[in-house]
Amino acid sequence: MPTIKEFFAGVSLSGEPQKGKKIILALFASVLLVAAVVGVVTGVKSMENNSGNGALSSEAHAVVKSSCSSTFYPELCFSAIANGGGGVAGKKLSSQKDVIEISLNITITAVDHNSAAIKKLIKARKNLNGREKTALRDCMEMVDETLHELHATVKDLEQYPTKKSLIRHADDLKTLVSSAITNQGTCLDGFSHEDADKHVREALIDGQEHVEKMCSNSLAMIKNMTDTDILNQKKLSGNTNKNRKLKEDHNDGAKWPEWLSAGDRKLLQSSNVKPDVVVAADGSGKYRTVSEAVAKAPERSSRRYVIRIKAGLYKENVDVPITKTNIMFVGDGRISTVIAASRNVVDGSTTFHSATVGVVGARFFARDITFQNTAGPANQQAVALRVGSDQSAFYRCNVIAYQDSLYVHSNRQFFVNCYVVGTIDFIFGNSAVVFQDCDIHARRPGPQQKNIVTAQGRMDRNQNTGIVIQKSRIGATPDLRPFQKEFPTFLGRPWMEYSRTVIMQSSITDVIDPAGWDIWDGNFALNTLVYREYNNTGAGADTSRRVNWKGFKVITNSAEVVSYTPGVFIDGDNWLSGTGIPFSLGL
């Protein structure tokens, strides 16, 4: 997985000493990079210090001050608005909602500045190495996704609070801005593998961190506003559960995402699939590759578009971009339908770009498919499946690789009855994701390596992200079992400062070290992380010898874990319903 903190701390994920790094850039590239640094810094300073014509009235001044007081960067929050950034003049500023909308628009302008800076760097591509070029392309993708998310936030905010329930508004708004924050870190992560990457990183860091802080401020204000409104509504109604209406399903009632039509649900349970198109490696379908089928799929579709992938091995990298919505992959079986490739960091890819299959378009669904990266344990980060699709679900799928198998990048995701296998940080990212009724197994790693099941990357305390493993089975593959003592295995480690992972109602074998959790680098994040265990069973579930970090807790009261159930944590009661397979919204 991306290794910014590790790289700058000089720590190697593989357990082996880091190789010597080359620090060579052509003079022409250096000049361009320095120019880009100056340009970005100047642009950021201008945005932060501009004394434009947007002077605030005393009433507006008080509203902005009050709104910004809930943020992590209140001075930046206030100055960006008070100094006229984003065209404040003439705009109404009488509520926190007004302040949030203006803050978001100012942030959109800042993202546009970053886009221009990245494009300047891309012009120097002949003088950059392959991974740097790839990382810049990753950054442009992050720009596009961030702009999409921020514009969607503004649109949703304009409809607040009457378009939908307050809780649904809150979940949607926080998800969008949380994802925008994550994107800024993802851009910079691509420049963390070589010493030479530092030069490119320096050209981008001011702009990326500025947008991250602005997004953080907007997220803090959104959380403050929605929390207050929800609390007031509860007080008025006298019913603290009225808005959520969480259905506790204790009888394994069958559920499916609400956005699946009745016909789709039948399709998912039927062996007689009637797809829109068929992909077959042997030429018996309309397309021979999955990528071609995705490319020909309609854009921004509001209806389900089914791509049936017939049994076979598809050696390709597949991207489902943000414009391809409501795509469904249906395989002939998780064993017989395999999409595999081998991009990896050692051979010059970024972690983000290494994914065999990368999914971004909203409401993606996959059934009966294996996603695999065949790079092997010596090639470090090599992702099999990367998911940034909001309200996406995976049923009866395999995700198989070594380091960084499954990149749960951003937004809301659900995995049910899936099999996930890997070694180091093999489930990582910063989405809000729940794994239910899944088999999650560590495999034998490379020499002197250890296994880490999760590396969650929550960057901001207000992000509604985290990894939840519920009613699942955590164990070891057959190749690891005889050697468990040689390769310690842990439930997780904190990739970012507010890393959040919850293991609940699951079976854990003795493959897990008695300490349970591992450090990232010294005392980093041990006080700020949120690691929880609740009602697990098996030899590896014994918590008597667990770590004693401030951020770790064994929960004994069920009321404390309801917030991590699918119905609440990924807003599942608004998009998970119907019939199809057994899973529950609650405990």
Secondary structure element (H or E) that encloses residue 3, with its range? none
CB 102 within 8 A of CB 86: yes
Q: What angle do CA 430, 432, 436 make, to 5 degrees?
A: 120
CB 504 within 8 A of CB 438: no
Which is it for strands 451-456 and 489-492: parallel, antiparallel or unpaired?
Answer: parallel
Assess contact for 380 and 344: CB atoms under 8 A.
yes
Strand partners, 329: 307, 366
CA distance 114 to 146: 11
At a CB cut-off of 8 Å and minimum separation 6, what does 498 contact? 458, 459, 460, 461, 463, 525, 528, 529, 530
Residues recognised as catalytic: 404, 425
Show the beta-strand stretches assigned E in 162-274.
Answer: 254-257
CA distance 170 to 167: 5
Instruction: Give every strand in the sheet of 427-429, ordered side by side.
Output: 318-320, 357-359, 385-387, 406-408, 427-429, 451-456, 489-492
Pairing of strands 412-416, 406-408: unpaired
Q: At what angle do helices 27-49 and 74-82 cross, to 10 degrees?
A: 80
Task: Give the integer Cα–Cα distance in Å for 363 and 385.
Answer: 16
Cα separation, 150 vs 129, whole angstroms: 32
The span from the CA of 188 to the CA of 204, in Å, is 8
Of residues 351, 30, 323, the one with CA closest to residue 188: 351
CA torsion, points 320, 339, 140, 292, in degrees to nearest 10? -50
Q: What Å distances lie between residue 104 and 98, 108, 112, 385, 461, CA to CA?
A: 10, 6, 13, 31, 19
Please name the amino acid found at residue 174. Answer: K
SS3 content of the chain, % helix, strand, coil (to 5): 35, 20, 45
Which among 361, 393, 431, 399 is positioned nearest to 186, based on CA atoms? 431
According to DSSP H, which parts of 251-339 are helical?
Answer: 262-269, 290-296
d(CA 442, CA 481): 9
